Structure 1
């Protein structure tokens, strides 16, 4: 629940990781991810005709993206969190995505591979459909981040700011399993942390607004423009927010999300320079003058 004592003073506390409806328990994490996919599909389908793409094509693309993005997001997370969270867990926990634990960068990699295959199969520009997906992606991230809130995960370092997230200490779930939410060195802390899920949700909403403005204001922008802008805008915020988190995926002493964010910012800037500085075009799945949308 969320309580406020003064303007801009909020204390967040997750009520539960499940929505109980009678005898049915629905995990908030899965429900929010499903909502993000549905909302994103509707948005991309409505935007598609404005770029000469059939709405039905974007609806078909969603299936391909799910097949590529969800396993990619989970595999990325498991790979970098293996020693900390999965090494001594039962093998099936690797697939327990409903308990949380996916990485957006893994989803983007898996989704991009699926989208390239889809574009080649349907003889359509990869960069055109990628541009159409970007607003849906940022909006979906804004929705999906609230799954971290209900799971009491992906929070930041301790804080005494007026807005803060309370993370409970270890507890025993209904199935008898003992779950610890805080890092071991912070188990005895007051329990208030930066609500980084909220920071990223709000940041993604801002990125969504920027992408929609550019989409509507510049209908003749070159294919790939929204992809590069998303890479710069999202990665800038993610780099800052990741520095606050206590559960970053690590590669040695490096926070992987920050390394990837810096790489994406550099590639995004380079891409914009290539498109508009050099007046070039990206490699694509179809010839520029022979697209068959």
Structure 2
């Protein structure tokens, strides 16, 4: 089993381990967005402009999702709790916020999001995985008591740690997506595939969440808010895999030594 490490022992000055891994995940996703866009012959500038909007809206919506969907009891602490965006974040809410920001941003710029969809999949999956390591480091998603070999020895008994499972699953999905990208398979449909795979994994993992602690996630008809969100991810994933086509590659003219113009596919 994995030993339990007190999150306070992992602090670097005022920086909590959760915030450190989230920042690393955002940096990695931003870097991969620009790098992959350039490799696909796309203009990376819109992605660089979108990044702060995606992060900002993701944090705000993630906090609101945490408050109103997962822990509405926290609203009784203070009327200002809603403004404390650093005090409680839902990764699934952050995902919703990032999606909403992307929809409005790309429409405002009159750009086709589908041209950048693969780029988002290849960048978001590993970035999200790294950010989820912050959940593992802070042990803020304890699961049920278990003797599973990957369980964490929490005070009071070994438990599943959903932050660890989610991070490992996202790293595995990232490896698959990059492998498909290298093989030239499912071009233009990597984002729906990411959506579908993550939905199935997350839906199953949430059944392992603890129900015997004082501070647990809200359930609605036996399901967590994220599990309901998984239905939407599955619907999008199936639709995208069936309907989306690979975007046309950008071509630029190249003049041959003989003077003729030849298209160069990037």
Confirm or deny a common fold (TM above 0.5): yes
Q: 1:68 to 1:91 in 2, by over 3 A?
A: same
Match of 2:36 in 1: 47
Conserved 8 A contact 2:70-2:225: no
Match of 2:187 in 1: 221
Conserved 8 A contact 1:80-1:251: no
Q: Distance in 2 between matches of 1:12 and 1:88?
A: 35
Match of 1:181 in 2: none
State which of 200, 205, 222 in structure 1 corresponds to 2:171: 205
Q: Greater shift after overlay, 150-159 or 255-264?
A: 255-264
Query: Residue 194 of structure 1: SS of its match in structure 2?
Result: strand
Conserved 8 A contact 1:36-1:143: yes
Conserved 8 A contact 1:239-1:257: yes
Instruction: Give ranges in structure 1 of 5+ residues lacking alignment.
Output: 1-9, 169-189, 282-287
Match of 2:236 in 1: 267
Q: Distance in 2 between matches of 1:214 and 1:12?
A: 35
Q: Distance in 2 between matches of 1:219 and 1:63?
A: 31
Match of 2:4 in 1: 13
TM-score (norm 1): 0.74
Conserved 8 A contact 1:242-1:258: yes
**Coordinate RMSD, CA, aligned:** 2.6
1:194 and 2:160 aligned: yes
C-alpha displacement of 1:219: 7.3
Match of 2:261 in 1: none
Q: 1:130 to 1:68 in 2, by over 3 A?
A: farther
C-alpha displacement of 1:18: 6.3
1:26 and 2:12 aligned: no
Q: Distance in 2 between matches of 1:194 and 1:19?
A: 20
TM-score (norm 2): 0.81
> Counterparts in 2 of 1:104-119, with a 5 A limit?
104-119=91-106
Q: Alpha-carbon deviations, 1:115-141, whole Å to 9, x = none?
A: 122212333211222331222221122
Instruction: Give ranges in structure 2 of 5+ residues lacking alignment.
Output: 211-215, 251-266
Aligned length: 245
